[in-house]
Amino acid sequence: MEIFNPNANFNFLGLRRYSIAVAALLVVASIALILVRGFNYGQEFVGGVAVDVAYSAPVDTNDVRKTLIDAGLDNPLVQSVGGTRQVTVRLQPRDDHGLAGQTGVTGDEAASKVSDDIMAALKAKRPDATMSKKSFVGPQVGEELRSDGLYAVVFVIVGIMGYLWVRFERRFAVAALVTEIHDVLVTLGIFALTQREFDLTVLASVLAVVGYSINDKVVVFDRIRELFRSSRNATPEDVLNRSINSTLSRTIITSLFTGITMAALFLYGGPAVHGFAVTLLIGIVVGTLSSIFVASPILLWLGVSKQDLMPKSSDDASLERRP
């Protein structure tokens, strides 16, 4: 299925100065946002108490939130779970509640004190409120999750770079590394800008963005290698342009249908997967644009040529080994 003419020759590389400038600007802006605004970390990363509350009749999350704020509970996060009769309330313990890690206070005790305050406030407004579950995450555990998540993203990107170095050539590995860093930073920068909650599902989707983005680039890189080997007199810029044009339909169709799937997940999957779906939607857009406008210009700037991708004969290899 083709929605674009595979034999078209739109000059994508002619826009490389503008596309690289825009990409660099987005990366710088994203780093600034991450450093200045930071992320709105979820309970898993900052610690706190989560209480699942069930009602015998439908309840509005805004009413629950207002009830808790009126009772003096700061910044409660209220989410609907599995319909209109069950909500999850997330709250960080205050100093007067006591925190796990302080002398003589355990995590269960901290969770009990906060959950008791939550339920007292909710029952005063709606006597049909009942607590079905409570949990506590300490701040030290959250810090470990943040560092482990960072290591996971770095490990995946470096592993992909090594794979491309072996499969293609070092210039392709460098181009992939730069574009993957671009895609991840821009995606995270949007989260820092909007202050959407950053939880474990978002972290998982960031790793999925890395995988999705590199898949797009491998398709283009494969076509670049194929055209370099089959073209006799074409310049590197011509080969890169033809590669992008010939894979454009595949790139757009894959992105479109994956985006539709994520949109359906966001609309009908419930609050638990909103962060995952939103992150992948952002990553799909960013990754698709970087595959078209960023990866190939970086390859051209690095000086990729036909000789770099031609299979080497035994004579060439022996010449390389001579001192």
Q: Which amino acid is at 71?
A: A
Residue 137 near residue 43, CB atoms below 8 Å: yes
Q: How many domains does the chain have?
A: 2
In a domain, 3, yes or no: no
Question: Rounded to whole angstroms, what are the CA distances from 158 to 152, 219, 310?
Answer: 10, 19, 25
In a domain, 321, yes or no: no
Residues 186 and 66 in one domain: no
Single out the residue of 24, 7, 10, 68 nearest to residue 179, CA to CA.
24
CATH number at residue 128: 3.30.70.3400
Residues 233 and 281 in one domain: yes
Can you give the pLDDT at residue 91?
A: 79
Can you give the pLDDT at residue 108?
A: 61
Can you give the pLDDT at residue 4?
A: 61
Residues 101 and 147 in one domain: no
Residues 293 and 267 in one domain: yes
> What's 273's DSSP letter?
G
Single out the residue of 302, 299, 294, 301 nearest to residue 23, CA to CA.
294
Single out the residue of 219, 129, 119, 99 nearest to residue 167, CA to CA.
219
Given 81, 103, 137, which residue is the final one in a domain? 137
Single out the residue of 295, 303, 294, 220 nearest to residue 20, CA to CA.
294
Domain of 221? 13-41+142-311
In a domain, 214, yes or no: yes
Q: Which amino acid is at 126?
A: R
Per-residue pLDDT of the chain in tens (323 residues, 90 and over written 9): 556 666 667 888 888 899 999 999 999 999 999 999 888 887 677 767 888 888 888 888 888 888 888 888 877 878 777 677 888 888 765 554 444 444 344 556 666 788 888 888 898 888 888 888 887 766 666 677 778 878 888 888 888 778 878 877 788 888 888 998 999 999 999 999 998 888 888 888 888 888 888 888 888 888 888 888 787 777 888 888 888 888 888 888 889 999 999 999 888 877 778 889 999 999 999 999 998 899 989 988 888 776 766 655 544 444 344 44
Residues 131 and 152 in one domain: no
Q: What angle separates helix 274-293 from helix 295-302, to the nearest 10 degrees?
A: 40
Question: Rounded to whole angstroms, what are the CA distances from 265 to 62, 81, 168, 195, 253?
Answer: 23, 15, 35, 21, 18
CA atoms of 88 and 79, how far apart (whole Å): 5
Q: E strands, the chain, where?
A: 40-41, 48-54, 77-80, 86-91, 130-137, 197-198
Residues 177 and 294 in one domain: yes
Residues 158 and 193 in one domain: yes
DSSP per-residue codes, 214-229: HHHHHHHHHHHHHHHH
Can you give the pLDDT at residue 230?
A: 80
Residues 53 and 175 in one domain: no
Q: Which amino acid is at 310?
A: M
Residues 114 and 208 in one domain: no
Q: Quick one: how far is CA 232 from the chain centroid? A: 40
Instruction: Name residue, tokens 């757009």.
Output: 252
Can you give the pLDDT at residue 182?
A: 93
142: burial class by Cβ within 10 Å (0-12, 13-18, 19+)?
A: middle
CA atoms of 67 and 219, how far apart (whole Å): 53
CA atoms of 227 and 222, how far apart (whole Å): 9
CATH number at residue 223: 1.20.1640.10
Given 137, 166, 193, which residue is the final one in a domain? 137
Can you give the pLDDT at residue 10?
A: 83
Residues 150 and 106 in one domain: no
In a domain, 2, yes or no: no
The partner residues of 40 in beta bridges, in order of sequence, read 197
Residue 273 near residue 201, CB atoms below 8 Å: yes
Residues 132 and 254 in one domain: no
HSE (CB half, 13 Å, CA atoms) of 284?
A: 19
Given 117, 137, 157, which residue is the final one in a domain? 137
Residues 19 and 160 in one domain: yes
Can you give the pLDDT at residue 270?
A: 72
